[in-house]
Structure 1
Amino acid sequence: MVISAIAALLTLSSSQEAPPSPSPAAEARVAEGRLAGRVEAGVARYLNIPYAAPPVGPLRWRPPQPAAAWTGVRDATHRGPICIQPPANGDNGVGPLPMSEDCLQLNVFAPEGATGDTPVMVWIHGGGYVNGSATADLYDGAALARQGVVVVTVNYRLGRLGFFDHPALAADRPAGEPAGNYGVMDMIAALGWVRANVGAFGGDPSQVTIFGESAGGMAVLQLMTAPAAQGLFHRAVVQSGPPRLPARRLDRPGPRGEPSVHDASVAWMAERGLEAADAAAMRTLPAEAFLEPWPSFRRGVLNIVDGQVVPEPVMDAFAAGRQARVPLIVGANSAEFFWVTADNPVDGTLDDGIPEDQRPALIAAYGGPDVYRAHVISDLLFVEPARQIARLHARTGAPTWLYRFDVVSAAAPQEPGGAGHAWDRQYVFNTLNASPWPTDAMDERAADLISGYWAAFGRAGDPNGSGRPAWPQSGATITAIQFSNDGPRIVEDPLGPRLELLAQWQDSH
């Protein structure tokens, strides 16, 4: 069984990871105590730093609490555990085992000798809120750090341990305590830790950029609307975030008939035969019991509007101008979910509600039924929402840059006809060594360019400079940069006619 396999994995020791090769030591003092890291190729690395108390026992399904202080010097040269999640199945966005509920740690990559005025970039990994980690080689922050930023990568609670509520938990908690979005609360706690401690690594807490991809991009959007996160960051990057996912409310159905989080959790526990008379009993159940079947981010199961941490759906907040008005980069890939077509009976149902009298015009805007079939699901999930977020954010007067990622390695799967979901990550971090397929000189040029834009944005809130082609802001005219194998080019409202029709339907749906 999957549970028994995962239970066995939980017992694995971190000794699986080979010790780092000898390198100069680095030291830093944070609020909780002293850290010993290491310096490699001009970057000081500090790994496995606790930013909150272990969310175990009575702290499971509680807001994150401060990390305990330690005595002596904490070894910060080895990666910590990943959070509880299903098997990685080759996903290069997941770091090495072991995994544990005690996973609220972060990693810091700082330019060697950085002083207190170095801008900071905080990465929120993707993985559908059910998998991923800050410890993956894919998210090694060294290449970005060498461009003059302090990079912080963050673990947060996942799945039903991070995005969950139940009537028994509601009955147990104090009045007014936030609930449901424990993973988002973890991110906010990490940002609070960064504000208090990043100066120890030469970082400037008044210049913090949050950036994330997929569910991490959605998290960035949620943080832009979260009252408790305001003032903890000053710039934002959203890579393939899906803000139009249906949202779940804690204790009442959603506007489209989505079940409440409480109703869904009661039904799920009954189906699994999990006996829990009260909150204390729920907190004694093994963590791996909450994995099967893991919840679907695509269907909005983990997109919780709790009224406090995430007070309203992201698109509603942006439409009303209630988001943080910080400089923003937002975009999507050219063939996001290429494996999900409009005629897929399981996942290809997002367009089913489009009225039949509107379909001919939409299919014509796509250039025919084959193109529509291949791309409409990706457009509905990622491409159109990115365009709409850019439009709404620019309307507030905040600087906004829109992109389309279309870089495809020669050795990558050729079926997509474009760049698939999450293919941008290794270019942003310039970690082609962690690519799932071989890369070449074209990829290296693209990675240097794209990571350069991202690092410049982290340094100054503007991606331009250093001789890179000018990337204009998007405003009344929707303008984007398209990253391709032949280099970047500026395009006006790419795919505008078809995306506008989708936007009109989505906004009225």
Structure 2
Amino acid sequence: MMKVLAQVVLAGLAASVATGSAAKTVSPGGPVVVVDTGTVRGTADGDLLSFKGLPYAAPPIGPLRWAPPEKAASWTGIRAASNYGPACLQKMNADGKPNAGGVTGPTSEDCLSLNVWTPKGAKKAPVMVWIYGGGNAYGAGSVGAYDGSAFARDGVVLVTFNYRLGTFGFFAHPEVTKAAGDGAPLANDALLDQRAALQWVQRNIAAFGGDPANVTVFGESAGGMDILALMTMPSAKGLFAKAIVESGGGWWPAVSLATREAEGVKTVTRAGAPAGASLAQLRALPAAALLAASGEGYLPATDGRLLTLSPREAFATGQVAKVPLIIGSNSYEASLLAEFKLPAAVLAAIAPAPLKAAYTDTKTADDLGESVFGDAVMGAPARWVASKASGHPAWLYHFSYVIDAKRATAKGADHAAEIPFVFDSWEHLGVLGQGLPVSDRDRAVSKVIHSCWVGFARTGAPVCTGGPAWPAYVGSDDSLMEFADKTRVARQFRKAQYDAQEAHPLPTLDPGLLDPGK
């Protein structure tokens, strides 16, 4: 689900921050840091330090395929940490262009590494850990849009990492269940990778100048969706103090272990497994064959062990981490419709009549379908999650700004369009040389939203430089921050439409639509 990135991002996303960047002079030798598995040498660029390709878990290969991550092996000497590790296995474009997660390669099943950007001399600095989107089937922490330099320049230690994708990260099968034993987590190895990366941060981030007691986890699309799942996991308690969910929805349905096991049987059959294959035989299947048999998007599964409730059930009953939360969506999330191969007019036709009645601002069937979809998948669930954040503050946002270069053709802010604004990572996108110039106004909006995220990481409240005071969400006030040409606080934003979505949900928003991995 939700694997498409905005065109402005896709135009320049690449698995190297060198893309679109001027050559920089770095100090020889590089900074040295000791982590719990050995010593690493990174790169210094003035007062900005970076460390890349650090293993946070053992390679998930051989007997560790479809198993919880284990601790990375220690090493002797000084390990070079100036280059990204390979992205996790995912489907790539034959023409070498970035895929749906912005990745160009290389990829490998041995991929569990992370990257750290930190200000020189940092001490107890706030930490932000990014979980990328891509439908849980695409993406990597090395994508240029996720470069952490701007955050580090603003005093934040920024971490990105890779986690297993597709059938390697969300696989279940009766043979795996039988071998796992009672109580062992199943079907969500990607979430276990995310937990392992956060545990690595707790153990090691102080060595990079970060404060393990002040960690903000943030992510977009499937990454935001996974954060909602992490917030329901008792075993993730204490690993982060704050959370930000960008276009992560909140109403996606529960997928049962039995459903995921049935999918797994079909996947390995397509990959060439013989009937009655043992777990050892399944783990010996060629990675390329499994990848070819993999789906296009995956939801976490409610296995009854790691996840006992879906996020919707957990938020409805208050069984979530009590941490400050920012959550929101973009104005043209309907850019995702092409991935579902679902015409907007079809959605308009099947929408319940009371739901349609709330959309008096639409003129055509396509307009209605697009609006209904965007609100159903992202906008209304985000408001609902914010309203259920009892016992901890939540802030709601809507991102509607469109870069000047796209205004003549864009219907709104596409899914993922906010990412380079959040990271203030324009020089790493490659778009500057590809016909999409970034204007002064674009950069000004970027500075505002980036500062909100930095302020939240520092203090637990989004204090925004150059923007209005952002009030915490209260149902009676129903306020959100709209990031637009003129960033503003809006009250009762799309209230009629969101209320109708809660009362009359679309019947098609089921696992078959939202989890193409089936």
Q: Is the shorter-chain TM-score for this pair beyond 0.5, marking a shared fold?
A: yes
Q: Which of 44, 49, 56 is equivalent to 1:51?
A: 56
Contact 1:340 1:347 in 2 (8 A): yes
Q: Does the CA-based 8 Å contact 1:44-1:112 persist in structure 2?
A: yes
Task: Letter of the 2:286 partner, please give it.
Answer: P
Which residue does 1:102 correspond to in 2? 110
**Correspondences of 1:102-501 after superposition (within 5 Å):** 102-115=110-123, 117-251=124-258, 260-275=259-274, 277-297=277-297, 301-338=298-335, 340=337, 345=342, 354-356=351-353, 358-364=354-360, 366=362, 369=365, 371-393=367-389, 396-412=390-406, 414-433=408-427, 434=429, 436=431, 437-464=436-463, 466=465, 468-476=467-475, 477-484=477-484, 486-501=485-500
Supply the distance in 2 between the matched residues of 1:444 and 1:249 (Cα, whole angstroms).
44
Work out whether residues 98 and 104 of structure 2, in 8 Å CA contact, stay in contact via their aligned partners in 1: no
- Paired residue for 2:92, among 87, 92, 102? 87
Query: d(CA) in 2 for partners of 1:169 and 1:344?
Result: 33
Q: Does 1:68 align with 2:73?
A: yes
Report Cα offsets for 1:366-411 as digits up to 9, x if no partner: 5774531232112111111111111111xx1311111110111122
Structure 1 SS opposite 2:192:
helix
Aligned partner (choices 21, 27, 41) of residue 23 of structure 1: 27
Task: Note if contact 1:92-1:138 (Cα within 8 Å) is conserved in structure 2.
Answer: no
8 A Cα contact 2:87 2:111, kept in partner: yes
Give yes or no for contact 1:214–1:241 (8 Å, CA) kept in 2: yes
Gaps of 5+ in 1: 1-13, 252-259
**Worse overlay, 379-388 or 128-137:** 379-388
TM-score by length of 2: 0.87
Are the counterparts in 1 of residues 52 and 81 from structure 2 also a CA contact under 8 Å?
Answer: yes
Deviation at 1:420, TM superposition (A): 0.2
Code of the aligned partner of 2:167:
R
Q: Distance in 2 between matches of 1:29 and 1:289?
A: 39
**SS across alignment from 1:108:** strand
Query: Hey, what's the Cα distance between the residues in 1 that align with 2:66 and 2:346?
Result: 33
AA in 1 matched with 2:98: G
Higher mean alpha-carbon deviation, 72-81 vs 170-179, is at 170-179
SS at the partner of 1:221?
helix
TM-score, normalised on structure 1? 0.88
Structure 2: segments with no counterpart, 5+ residues:
1-14, 510-518
Could you say if the C-alpha distance between residues 248 and 349 of structure 1 is closer, same or farther in structure 2, counting changes exceeding 3 Å?
farther
Q: 1:417 to 1:353 in 2, by over 3 A?
A: closer
Q: 2: CA distance between counterparts of 1:236 and 1:135?
A: 21
Gap change, CA 1:344 and 1:415, over 3 Å in 2: farther
Amino acid at match of 2:143: A
Deviation, structure 1 residue 244: 1.9
Q: Which amino acid aligns with 1:97?
A: G
Q: Alignment RMSD, CA only?
A: 2.6
Contact kept in structure 2, 1:342 and 1:349, CA below 8 Å: no
